[in-house]
Amino acid sequence: MLEIDGLQVEPVIGLEIHVHLRTRTKMWCGCLLAYGAEPNTHVCPVCLGLPGALPVANAEAVALAIRMGIALNCRIAEFSKWDRKSYYYPDLPKNYQISQYDLPLCADGYLEFPFGDAIRKIRITRAHLEEDAGKNIHDIPGLTAVDLNRAGTPLLEIVTEPDLAGAEETREFALQLHRLVRYLGVSDANMQLGQMRFEPNINVRIHADGRVHATPIVEVKNLNSFRSVHGAIDYEIRRQVAAWREDGQVARPGNKANRGWDDNREVTVPQREKEEANDYRYFPDPDLVPVCPDAAQVAAWRLATPELPIPRTDRFISEYKLAPREAPALVDCKATADLLDAAGEFPCDKALLGKHFLSFWSRLANERETTIAGLGVPPRSFSELADLVRDKVINATAAAQIAEEIVARIDGQLGGTGRPGDSDCQRAIPPIDRPEWAPRELADQLGLVQSQDADEIAAWVAAAFEANQKAVGDALANPRKRKAARGFLLGAVMKLSGGKADPRLVGEQIDAELSRRAD
């Protein structure tokens, strides 16, 4: 419940989400999915709607839809069919869209996510498969240009119950869903490419005069950023309260309206309604036959459903001692999360392992515009490196150096190609495993094994004190500079040792020497 201008206001929001599925080819034909290609170059008789052409459903799209349905706790239909939805639009080649009307593949599910201190549970009404339309290009004066490359792209439409209670919550839900489709490999969900689009249905229940007044429902069309989802809902709530004050209009059948979002002005604007929007004349598509998902196959997919991002995040926080804010970075790229778990299978210090993933391994991946799973490092190398640090065979600086060396050697092997992009959260490359590239080997080869030898360390400390008289003086004489000066000396010793000295032992010796001199 919000308070707006002294009124108790309860927003009621349902969300429709359109997601492009991560198939190679279109929903009904073998054209490759295209983003940014020359117009009308990824088309064929089927997706152009030419006379005599017939659709055949893409099995992978059906599989992805069902796998998503399982992750959303949906009931998977035993019998599902295709229906035609009729409306005329130049970007819709057949002038009907093949969709699913009364028997969607997935129905009656929910998604739970943490929001504030609570767990929110949003019910999923349905998730069904359909095809995307092409694009009408409006920026050429005096005409509309039609590009049908996108026509027939497999689209999963997910519809929620009106369970969302605010702009922030809806944005969070949208983010969680975005995370989930990417994690499952159901969609690349690139917002810039329009691979995921949101359409919230918004109205508010105003509590006034001891009664509840529900404002007319507004559907905001085609939002393609989380910011616009938040902005549009936030704006609509205020606008609807103001409109109600003005005209007292309440929701009734037939007065639902569509609005668009003006990203520049950050307002919603009334939209010219599509003609005959209320009479789509749905009927079963006679060119296609029903889909009856095989129960054994669905059960297998159910079993194969991976640990989902939200529970996995919780586990990573406790198992790898990650900070709650940092954990999603390792979870959301599923291939990397799987790699972390694979590395964690070897007995090692998991907290150090997690720390390494977040620090130098991430940096090495970023430098190569790939993911950690795209580096090609064998799982055992991650844990071995963590163990070397834990056992003080090497220090943290040396660990980063060794990691860099491993990746550089793999670079040489790969010749700089074959790595997944940094937004590909599904693909890992096969690790390149050479005994001579094992961390312990490299620690020796690079001379990075930490020195535990007290005499050797004492010699470095003496040399450092000799060379840095001022710092020694500061440390002894000036209590305010003591800490900084000690740190400076420690760094000097480490430098002299070539990174090999055990910093803990060095610190002890520096302290001992300082107190000896102070006496």
Partner 1 sequence: MTTIDPQQVQRLAKLARLDLSDDERARYAGQLDTILRYVEQLAQVDTSDCDPLAHPLPLTDVLRGDVPAPGLDQQDALANAPARHQGFFKVPTVLDQTGGA
Partner 2 sequence: MNTPPTVLDLAAATRAGSASAPETCAATLAAIQGADPRLNAFREVHADAAITTARNVDRDVVAGTASGPLAGVPIALKDNIVTRVGTTSAGSRMLAGYRSPYDATAATRLAEAGAILVGKTNCDEFAMGSSTENCAFGPTRNPWDLERVPGGSSGGAAVAVAARLVPASLGSDTGGSIRQPASFCGVVGLKPTYGRVSRYGLIAFGSSLDQIGPITTTVADAAAVLQVIAGHDPADATCVREPVPDFSAAVAEAAGEDHARGLRIGVPAEYFAEGLDPEVEAAVRSALALYAEHGAELVPVTLPHVDKAVAAYYVIATAECSSNLARFDGVRFGHRSEQGGSIEQLVSRSRAEGFGDEVKRRIMLGTFVLSSGYYEAFYDKALRVRRLIQQGFNAALERVDVLACPTAPTTAFRLGEKAADPLQMYLADICTLAVNLAGLPAISIPCGFDSGGLPIGLQLIAPLFDEVGLLRAAQRYEGWTDWHARCPDARRG
Q: Which residues between 15 and 74 bind partner 2 (CB under 8 A)?
A: 45, 48-57
Q: What's the CA gap between 368 and 435, in Å, rounded?
A: 24
CA pair distance 128, 107, nearest whole angstrom: 8
Q: Does 41 bind partner 1 (CB under 8 A)?
A: yes
Least distance from C-beta 278 to partner 2, angstroms? 7
Return the number of the residue (2 or 288) whose C-beta is nearest partner 2. 288
Q: Between 95 and 423, name the residue whose CB sits nearer to partner 2.
A: 95
Considering the rule CB under 8 A, would residue 24 count as an interface residue with partner 1? yes
Residue ranges of E strands in 248-315:
257-262, 267-270, 283-284
Site residues (CB under 8 A) for partner 1, limited to 280-299: 281, 283-284, 286, 288-292, 294
Q: Is 259 in the site for partner 1 (CB under 8 A)?
A: no
Give the pairing of strands 257-262 and 218-220.
parallel
Q: Identify what 216 binds: partner 2, partner 1, none; CB under 5 to 8 Å per kind.
A: none
Q: How many residues of this chain bind partner 2 (CB under 8 A)?
A: 32
- Return the sign of the alpha-carbon dihedral for residues 33, 37, 41, 46: positive
Q: Please, which contacts does 299-306 make with residues 24 or more away whose CB atoms are closer than 8 Å?
A: 301/63, 301/66, 301/67, 301/70, 302/70, 305/67, 305/70, 305/71, 306/183, 306/184, 306/334
Of 86, 190, 426, 451, the one binding partner 2 (CB under 8 A) is 86
Question: Among 66, 74, 128, 147, which residue sits at the site for partner 1 (rule: CB under 8 A)?
Answer: 147
Q: Min. distance of Cβ 45 from partner 2 in angstroms?
A: 5
Q: Report yes or no: 111 and 177 within 8 Å, Cβ to Cβ.
A: yes
Closer Cβ to partner 2, 114 or 284, answer by number: 284
- 274 touches partner 1 (CB under 8 A): yes
* Residue 19: CB minimum distance to partner 1, A: 12
Which of 84, 128, 334, 500 is the binder for partner 2 (CB under 8 A)? 84
Q: What is the dihedral of CA 363, 364, 369, 370, to 10 degrees?
A: -110
Q: Pick the stretch among 35-43, 404-412, 451-459, 476-484 that binds partner 1 (CB under 8 A).
A: 35-43
Residue 213's binding partner out of partner 1, partner 2, none, with CB under 5 to 8 Å set by partner kind: none
Q: Which does 278 bind (CB under 5 to 8 A by kind): partner 2, partner 1, none?
A: partner 2
Q: Are 236 and 202 in contact (CB under 8 A)?
A: yes
CA distance linking residue 152 with residue 513, whole number of Å: 76
| Alpha helix (H) residue ranges in 203-267 | 226-247
Say if residue 247 is exposed, middle or buried (CB neighbours under 10 Å; 0-12, 13-18, 19+). exposed
Q: Residue 24's binding partner, choosing from partner 2, partner 1, none, with beta-carbon cut-off 5 to 8 A by kind?
A: partner 1
Stretch in the footprint of partner 1 (CB under 8 A) among 113-121, 274-282, 358-366, 411-419: 274-282
For residues 508 and 438, what is the distance between their CA atoms, to the nearest angstrom? 31
> Could you tell me whether strands 2-4 and 83-86 are parallel, antiparallel, or unpaired per DSSP bridges?
unpaired
**CA torsion angle 168 169 171 172 (round to 10):** 120
**Exposed, middle or buried, 477 (CB in 10 Å: 0-12/13-18/19+)?**
exposed
Site string for partner 2, 395-434 (x = CB under 8 A): ----------------------------------------
Of 1, 8, 32, 408, which one interacts with partner 1 (CB under 8 A)?
32
In whole angstroms, the minimum distance from the beta carbon of 303 to partner 1 comes to: 21
Sign of the alpha-carbon torsion through 388, 389, 391, 393: positive
Q: Is 276 in the site for partner 1 (CB under 8 A)?
A: yes
Closest to 422 measured CA to CA, from 188, 195, 107: 188
Which of 251, 288, 449, 458 is close enough to bind partner 2 by CB under 8 A?
288
How many other β-carbons are positioned within 10 Å of the β-carbon of residue 54? 10
Write each residue from 206 to 245 as x if it is in contact with partner 1 (CB under 8 A), else as -, in one continuous string. ---------------xx-----------------------
Q: Which does 61 bind (CB under 5 to 8 A by kind): partner 1, partner 2, none?
A: partner 1
Residues at the site binding partner 2, with contacts judged by CB under 8 A? 45, 48-57, 84, 86, 88, 90, 93-96, 144, 146, 148, 275, 278-279, 281-283, 286-289
